[in-house]
Structure 1
Amino acid sequence: MELQDPNLRQRGRASLDFLAQMGVAAAPVSQKVTSEISDQMDPDKLPDDLDERDALINAALADSRAFATHRLMGDWHSRSYTRISTEAFEEILPELQPVLDKTSNGPASLELDPDLPLPDYWDGVHFHRTDGGWDGHEHMGYVHGEIIHKKMVARFFPGGIFQQRQNVAEMAPRDNYKRILDMGCSSGHFTTALANTYPDAQITGVELSARMLEHAFRTANANGWNWKLYQRPAEDTGFDDASFDLVASYILIHEIPADVVEKVFAEAFRLLEPGGDMIMSDATRYADLDKLGVWKADRGAKYGGEPFWRETASLDLAEIARKVGFEDVSADGIYPHVVKGRKPA
């Protein structure tokens, strides 16, 4: 059952193309802003304090047309992409509904918890400035998973965002696993990469968003996969000790506060059987960027709906992995930054 390539109408397709091209067009404007900063100050001598750095650069660029243009483009894009993508989805919903209905049944299982006490860091937060948050639309999982990511975001990443997920899945130390947990599985993109890489494994996913889980459920059914999906926080999954031989996540960490990151790593350690592997990936570490690069990333996160980006991008994830008990820890890569560790046998 085809679920992966929505046949958008002309209006929706043109609107998504415009959004994608705006993202491409912003690149030379950003380069102009960088050039203007470098003309006025030595980037290596910018203040260490990030708020002071931002204030200094804002003052220096007060009369910059490029900076004003870049801000306006970014703000309009952030405020508009969910509405435009949802409208494109609603145009095709009548013909898509039979597919959604059919893929709501199959080998996968889904356990939602309407009484789940949502963590403060998640409840009411509109990550990525998504209208209404991850559950703001009845089919937000489809809108994000099949339209926003595949029709727009994928164009911004050289090599493809889905190839990145596949690459991370293939970085796990062993060639096969029996029981895999995907922490923060969202609409199932990384879960799909895990299923493709380890076809004989029983795959379980946890996620807070019911709408994202529903789309992951449909994706699994469309492909004949028997995923087990649960609405639970990654830091407190409720599974028994030693339930898995691989615990993984893709770009989850920047969506949670720093103190919760350590709890997630500790939960992964608890859930692994002795000798089991952990692989976590996330956005670029600030330690791997120069001062100007950090300012760009930090500003983009601040105005792009990423409330925990700064505190988590500043973490040494390898140090956290060792702290909770992992051995043979490694941390490599710029984007994604990938941390691996093994629970002692």
Structure 2
Amino acid sequence: MTGMNEGSPAMLGHPMIAQPNHDELVEQMFVRDLKVFVSGTLEPTQRAVAQKLEAVAPLTNSNSPVEDLRDRMMGIESFKTWIALKRESQRHLWSAVGESVERQKDSLEALSQIATPRGSVTLDPDFVAPAYITGADIHLMPGGNALDDGSLLQGAVMDRGGAVFMLGRNGGMLNDLRGHTAMAHLPTAYPDMKPLKILEMGCGIGTSVVPAATWFPDAEIHGIDVGASILRYAHARAEHLGAPIHFSQQSAEHTNFADGSFDVVFSCVVLHETSQAAASNILAESRRLLRPGGVAIHLEVPLMNTFGMMWEELSAEIEAEFNNEPYWRGALSADYGALMGAAGFKDVKVGYQSTAFAGPHSPLKFGDTSDGVFRSWFVTSGTA
């Protein structure tokens, strides 16, 4: 959120997002600045130390050189301090945001009561979330993504916390640049596609599916996820943003939609939070749901080009272990072209889509080279 004023429209975001009082805002900004310090000042220092260790003595564990590097780094106190600060700043983030959201629970629940909704939300009281979702609180968010306490507060925590976590780099308090970028891939790579029915898999609180309504206002748009609380919030959030979206509680591995139901199926940063087996199932399901000629777009973190670089691999290991991202390494090393082919897609594309900072008016660029973190996103796509 660097360089943005909390009172500006971009920062306020939308009526559903929890608004902190003075002391809560100060605490959230402190956490933001601490996270910037941990990643922007402390991490480069640790990278330099690791590179010196590599230069002094080659990594000898040929089966896992990154583990060799980790063993060496664990003997350095500043490295362990960096890990501790990285984890605790994340825990502090959710604590600070959670207390603020809890204070506003009555007003948020009142705002969620939409008299004449344009979209809908369908929950399944018998739904059982996959073990890879419930096995750990992803990103250390207490309760995780599948929590259902009968309220929408988990969604409210995810919304405010996610925007602070991303430091404003993913679209301010709307946190929506990934969705705009996924939609930008259609006119970039498939300019003749004019979708009338779109599905987002793993939609969370709707930050990426609402942009689909901006790009394609005539389309019928659906979003699915595993968490009842976040879906309640997603529906209210979309309604306040004027987006008629139909949300339902389903697993992206096996949905209840009929074959060929959609023109476009997409996901945003979902595959790195699933098991490798689940990722293959999700790709196959996205293929099943497409009509002939339909397009699937799966957007992921733009770090695939760093696999094989020792510090980036070690940093990924730390992220997986201390921020509850157990499938991060597998996502970075996966051959998405092969996985898409195995799922039955044609015209498979693998590359980097430049971030759509200007929404539907953004310059369109897709290619083999990443523009850097937050300036482009990894995308694999294909047709049915």
Partner of 1:225: 243
Q: Give 1:308 shift.
A: 1.5
- Measure the CA separation in 1 of the matches of 2:168 and 2:238: 26
- Measure the CA separation in 2 of the matches of 1:257 and 1:158: 25
- Measure the CA separation in 2 of the matches of 1:18 and 1:156: 14
- Residue identity opposite 1:326 in structure 2: F
**Helix, strand or coil: the match of 2:134?**
coil
Aligned counterpart in structure 2 of residue 109 of structure 1, from 107, 110, 120: 120
Partner of 1:270: 288
Aligned counterpart in structure 1 of residue 348 of structure 2, from 316, 320, 329: 329
Q: Give 1:217 shift.
A: 0.7
Partner of 2:358: none
- Measure the CA separation in 1 of the matches of 2:128 and 2:102: 31
**Helix, strand or coil: the match of 1:114?**
coil
Partner of 2:363: none
Alignment size in residue pairs: 338
**Helix, strand or coil: the match of 1:142?**
helix
Q: TM-score, normalised by structure 1?
A: 0.90
User: Which residues of 2 match residues 204-223 of structure 1 at below 5 A?
Assistant: 204-223=222-241
Q: Which runs of 4+ in 1 moved over 6 A?
A: none
Change (3 A) 1:111 1:95: closer
User: Which residues of 2 match residues 1-345 of structure 1 at below 5 A?
Assistant: 2-3=14-15, 5-26=17-38, 27-42=40-55, 46=59, 47=61, 49-50=63-64, 53-65=66-78, 67-101=79-113, 103=114, 106-134=117-145, 135=147, 138=151, 139-145=153-159, 147-150=160-163, 152-155=164-167, 157=169, 162-172=176-186, 173-174=190-191, 176-284=194-302, 286=304, 288-289=306-307, 290-333=309-352, 334=370, 336-343=377-384
Change (3 A) 1:245 1:315: same
- Residue identity opposite 2:331 in structure 1: T
Structure 2 contact 182–266 (Cα < 8 Å) conserved = no
* Further displaced range: 176-185 or 31-40: 31-40
Which structure 2 segments of 5+ residues have no match? 1-12, 353-369
- Measure the CA separation in 1 of the matches of 2:42 and 2:158: 27
- Measure the CA separation in 2 of the matches of 1:158 and 1:215: 20
* Further displaced range: 212-221 or 17-26: 212-221
- Measure the CA separation in 1 of the matches of 2:56 and 2:47: 10
Q: Provide, for residues 17-49 of structure 1, a one-character-per-residue CA deviation record: whole Å limited to 9, x for no partner.
A: 011001111121111111111122239954554
- Residue identity opposite 1:271 in structure 2: L
- Measure the CA separation in 1 of the matches of 2:148 and 2:96: 14
**Helix, strand or coil: the match of 2:155?**
helix
Q: Give 1:118 shift.
A: 2.4
Q: Give 1:59 shift.
A: 2.6
Which structure 1 segments of 5+ residues have no match? none
Q: Provide, for residues 94-121 of structure 1, a one-character-per-residue CA deviation record: whole Å limited to 9, x for no partner.
A: 44443233x4751111111110132222
Q: Give 1:157 shift.
A: 3.2
Change (3 A) 1:167 1:140: same
Q: Give 1:230 shift.
A: 1.0
